[in-house]
Amino acid sequence: MTANKTPARRGPKPKPANERRTCTKLIRWSPDELEILEARAEAAGVPVAVFVRLSSLGERQTKP
């Protein structure tokens, strides 16, 4: 048995460096705006961050 064996990777395959999301931007919403975003994201079946990212890039959100 080898003592230096690395454990198998779990999860999705890492994206190439040019596709990784490494930039962040703080966005502030009012409580009412956040409530609307959360409701829309839930209706689309995605997390709020995914909903905001895709919506801001012009993609329509529909529940799968």
Q: How does pLDDT run across 9-60, given as a tens digit for each residue?
A: 788 888 888 888 889 999 999 999 999 999 999 999 999 999 999 999 988 7
Question: Whole-angstrom distance between the N-terminal and C-terminal Cα of the chain?
Answer: 46
Q: How does pLDDT run across 7-18, given as a tens digit for each residue?
A: 777 888 888 888
Give 61's pLDDT tier (boundaries 50, 70, 90): low
Tokens of 40: 């829309």
Angle between helices 31-44 and 48-56 (to 10 degrees): 90
pTM of the predicted protein model:
0.65
The helix, strand and coil proportions of the chain, stated in percent and rounded to the nearest 5, come to: 40, 0, 60
Query: What pLDDT score does 3 carry?
Result: 62
Residue in the block written with tokens 């529940």: 63
Give 6's pLDDT tier (boundaries 50, 70, 90): confident
